[in-house]
């Protein structure tokens, strides 16, 4: 079976409007968390987030015939266009029926839904007739397919915080099954007051810095953004002379069936997903050089993830560098898996690991190597990227250097 290659990357977060700027700032340990500006946070305990500041300043975020689409669609379009350009993929030379779009999201166009609700209750007569339609989870996909003239499959996955990792895993399966020649796979989520209020009610949002795996961690900080990968079969990528960042070698998926919001205390579902990804990638435990952690900085998640890694890797767990980029950009919900996949692929490609910032007090229950505060140059032949969502929806992706296959 042909390997699946990653030939293009796109990313936009609070640390930058393109993949290179985002990754450079991640490696430098920059903090993208700032006071929230997009809505009034005076009623909430937490008041900070990872907001994208320069979306409208980018030239490719202007040309549209669909003005009713909102922030989520723009985030997705921005990352998708960058990934296509990065892959040197000329769309009008491709069969549009064989290019698929597979995305993950928690909110979809819900910000438009919020705006629609406010306008409705203010008796606003200028509501665009398509505004409520563009509030759906699938609407940003429709927008991007239309803007780019694509006619292949359009798939949207919504499994909370693991959504876009599942979307990338489905892309692997589409290509392996010869149901597409190219898959644009990733995810997106905007900053939303609805989500912010919900996490505040759950008391999951910290008023402190976000501190994954630190003894003094007290919760997450929300962010927004989008990540996109161009995937194609390795033989076809090489035939057209494409640059190959890495191979997507394995995908694991599982469910805890344990609790609505809390992970299984021993991380059993997470461990199953990691084993599945390792098995498909044909990786042994000694070959994994890095793990991008889900690392939300909630007390329960970080312990469960640490236990899951130990369950899978045993004593090998103590030698593997593990980091959480959520410490720098916040938790981007359905976009997290895609953004972190982009970061993990660039880690494999560049042999440098982003740090976990704000780490100051080791937790005896989280006693692995979390790459505290400083990036680390190391040869990375293979890496895992973990995404674990509400309801126990787990997804793990395995990336390897092309020559490792």
180 within some domain = yes
Q: Is 259 a catalytic residue?
A: no
Residues 336 and 191 in one domain: no
Lowest mean pLDDT among 10-24, 44-58, 350-364: 44-58
136 within some domain = yes
245 within some domain = no
Residue 288: which of 237, 322, 241, 332 has the closest Cα? Answer: 322
Residues 116 and 195 in one domain: yes
Residue 391 belongs to domain spanning: 253-404
Residues 235 and 259 in one domain: no
Residue 224: which of 45, 41, 54, 27 has the closest Cα? Answer: 54
* Helix, strand, coil percentages for the chain (3-state, nearest 5): 40, 20, 40
End position of a domain, from candidates 214, 239, 264: 239
192 within some domain = yes
Lowest mean pLDDT among 78-82, 110-114, 221-225, 308-312: 110-114
275 within some domain = yes
Mean of pLDDT over the chain: 92
Which pLDDT does position 272 carry in this prediction? Answer: 98
Residues 269 and 223 in one domain: no
Beta partners for 376? 353
Burial letters for 150-164: b for 16+ Cβ neighbours within 10 Å, e otherwise? bebbbbbbbbbbbbb
For 266-276, what is each residue's pLDDT tens digit?
Answer: 899 999 999 99
Candidates 11, 166, 331, 366; catalytic one: 331
Residues 186 and 158 in one domain: yes
End position of a domain, from candidates 209, 239, 269: 239
Average pLDDT on 335-359 reads 99
Which pLDDT does position 107 carry in this prediction? Answer: 83
Candidates 11, 264, 294, 366; catalytic one: 294
Which pLDDT does position 84 carry in this prediction? Answer: 98
Residues 215 and 314 in one domain: no
- Angle subtended at Cα 78 by Cα 54 and Cα 243, rounded to the nearest 5 degrees: 120
Residues 113 and 21 in one domain: yes
Residues 229 and 260 in one domain: no
Residues 227 and 288 in one domain: no
Domains contained in the chain, number = 2
Candidates 161, 166, 264, 366; catalytic one: 161
Which pLDDT does position 242 carry in this prediction? Answer: 98
User: Do the strands 99-104 and 246-255 form a parallel or antiparallel pair, or are they unpaired?
Assistant: unpaired
Which pLDDT band, with edges at 50, 70 and 90, does 66 fall under? Answer: very low
Residues 138 and 62 in one domain: yes
82 within some domain = yes
Lowest mean pLDDT among 117-126, 244-253, 319-328, 360-369: 117-126
Other C-beta atoms within 10 Å of 149: how many? 10
The whole-model pTM stands at 0.94
189 within some domain = yes
Category of 366 on φ-ψ map: left (φ > 0), alpha (ψ -120 to 50) or beta: beta
30 within some domain = yes
Other C-beta atoms within 10 Å of 32: how many? 24
Which pLDDT does position 132 carry in this prediction? Answer: 65
Residues 10 and 64 in one domain: yes
131, pLDDT greater than 80: no
CATH number at residue 114: 3.40.47.10
End position of a domain, from candidates 199, 216, 239: 239
Residues 207 and 114 in one domain: yes
């Amino acid at each position: 079976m042909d390997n699946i290659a990653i030939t293009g990357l796109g990313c936009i977060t609070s640390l930058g409007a393109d993949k290179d700027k985002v990754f450079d700032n991640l490696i430098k340990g920059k903090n993208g968390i700032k006071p929230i500006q997009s809505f009034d946070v005076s009623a909430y305990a937490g008041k900070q987030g990872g907001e994208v500041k320069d979306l409208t300043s980018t030239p490719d975020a202007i040309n549209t015939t669909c003005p009713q689409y909102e922030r989520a669609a723009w985030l997705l379009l921005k990352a998708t266009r960058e990934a296509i350009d990065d892959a040197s993929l000329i769309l009008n030379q491709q069969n549009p029926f064989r290019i698929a779009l597979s995305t993950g999201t928690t909110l979809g166009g819900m910000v438009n839904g919020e705006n629609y609700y406010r306008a409705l209750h203010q008796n606003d007569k200028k509501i665009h007739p398509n505004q409520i339609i563009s509030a759906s989870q699938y609407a940003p996909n429709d927008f991007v397919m239309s803007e780019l003239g694509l006619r292949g499959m359009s798939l949207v996955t919504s499994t909370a915080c693991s959504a876009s990792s599942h979307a990338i895993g489905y892309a692997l399966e589409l290509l392996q099954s010869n149901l597409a020649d190219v898959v644009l796979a990733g995810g997106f989520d905007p900053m939303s007051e609805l989500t912010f209020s919900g996490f505040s009610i759950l008391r999951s949002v910290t008023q402190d810095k976000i501190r994954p795996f630190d003894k003094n961690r007290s919760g997450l900080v929300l962010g927004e953004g989008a990540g996109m990968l161009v995937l194609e079969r390795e033989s076809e990528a090489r035939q057209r002379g494409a640059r190959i960042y890495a191979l997507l070698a394995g995908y694991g998926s599982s469910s805890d069936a344990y609790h609505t919001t809390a992970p299984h205390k021993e991380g059993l579902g997470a461990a199953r997903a990691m084993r599945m990804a390792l098995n498909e990638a044909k990786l042994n435990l000694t070959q994994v050089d890095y793990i991008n952690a889900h690392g939300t900085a909630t007390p329960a998640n970080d312990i469960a993830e640490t236990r899951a890694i130990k369950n899978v890797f045993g004593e090998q767990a103590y030698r593997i560098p593990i980091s959480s980029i959520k410490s720098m950009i916040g938790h981007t919900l359905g976009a997290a898996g895609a953004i972190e996949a982009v970061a993990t692929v660039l880690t494999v490609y560049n042999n440098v690991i982003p740090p976990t910032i704000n780490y100051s007090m080791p937790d005896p229950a989280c006693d692995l190597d979390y790459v505290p505060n400083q990036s680390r140059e190391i040869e990375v032949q293979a890496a895992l990227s973990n995404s674990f969502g509400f309801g126990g929806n787990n997804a793990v992706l395995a990336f390897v250097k092309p020559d490792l296959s």
